[in-house]
Amino acid sequence: MEYRRLGSSDLEISTVGLGCWAMGGWWWGGTDVNDSIAAVQKAIDVGINFIDTAPVYGWGLSEEIVGRALEGRRDKAVVATKCGLIWDREEGEYYFEDAGHKVYRCLRKENIIREAEASLRRLRTDWIDLYQCHWPDKTTALEETMEALVALRDQGKIRAIGVSNFTVPMHEECLRHGPLHSSQPRYNMLDRKIEKDVLPFCREHNIGVVVYSPLEQGILTGKVTPDRKFAPDDYRTHQPWFQRKNLERALGFLERIRPIAEGHGKSLAQLAIAWVVAQPGVTAAIVGARRPEQVEHNAGGSDWRLSEDELKVIESELAALGGPER
């Protein structure tokens, strides 16, 4: 497993991280708690130290799973969680309503301090390694948000400060009020929007970039076929690349690049992960998984390199593929 420094923080993280959203079950068709705990423990066993979760993933359940899984191994993990999506009070910017919960984006100081305490309890730990604002909240000045994050860091409750789904001007505003160690945007072969702004900005300012959905939520494994049946509450069925026509095009692209993976004795999933971590400025890929065998497999996305020629072939195939039809 390869490890890299996360921006200007003192955290060393594995280039393949474990994403724990699906473990919470919500929007992913339910969960199996024992499998999920085993998946987190498997991550540590195979050298994946970077574990990403959030309070909203299963309304606290994902954090609880991570906390239970890491009992006795906390020092081996770099735990990242988030703040700013709340469902227990109506405060900040209304976001959406689902599963009987009204979700608000709230990055107010008092809220962040309160959320951090709740996450520490669920995670069964005294410190959070990386604390990230989950989504922007346009009702709160980032100066106030950063004040809370810097205070938590000064108290030793968090070790590094991050943001997610933030624009470049929002990153700039954060930097005016304290250190910003990492950014968590969406990025994969099929979704490359950040290459034109967030990625170069973070490179220039030594901000670590830990990207989410590196497998386009499973599509880039090649295992999602048009006849796959999803649980009714699995939100992927609404995503553009999961629509039959787009999915068939994506599968055609995957067949064309499969020989590159096979040439290295790797799978398409491992190729997709290696491609993401090969992009300049990307520190790590946060790969979602909820079963130990998936985690073990995904660890094989680290520690090998695509050649310049292979990267060029993938580039031209991606140009030919284009974006999803909407």
Ligand X SMILES: NC(=O)c1ccc[n+]([C@@H]2O[C@H](COP(=O)([O-])OP(=O)(O)OC[C@H]3O[C@@H](n4cnc5c(N)ncnc54)[C@H](OP(=O)(O)O)[C@@H]3O)[C@@H](O)[C@H]2O)c1
- Catalytic residue IDs: 57
Minimum distance from CB of 234 to ligand X (Å)?
Answer: 8
Our measurement of the distance from residue 115's CA atom to the centroid of its chain's CA atoms, rounded to an integer in Å, reads: 19
Would strands 16-19 and 284-288 be described as parallel, antiparallel, or unpaired? parallel
Residue 18 or 142: the one with the smaller Cβ distance to ligand X is 18
Residue with Cβ nearer ligand X (214 or 281):
214
Decide whether 155 or 296 has the Cβ nearer to ligand X: 296
Closest by CA position to 131, among listed 142, 111, 110, 115? 115
Residue 296 C-beta: closest distance to ligand X, Å? 8
- Helical axes 33-45 vs 292-299, angle rounded to 10°: 30
Residues that bind ligand X (CB under 6 A): 19-22, 52, 134, 164-165, 184, 212-218, 221, 223, 269, 286-290, 294, 297-298
Closer residue to ligand X, CB minimum distance, 41 or 294: 294
Measured from the CB of residue 62, what is the shortest distance to ligand X in angstroms? 8
The answer for residues whose C-beta is within 8 angstroms of residue 142's C-beta and 6 or more apart is 107, 170, 173, 174, 177
SS3 115: helix
Q: Least distance (Å) from ligand X to the CB of residue 29?
A: 8
Distance of CA 179 to the CA centre of its chain: 21
Q: Among 184, 164, 77, 183, which residue's Cα sits nearest to residue 123?
A: 77
End-to-end CA distance of the chain: 38
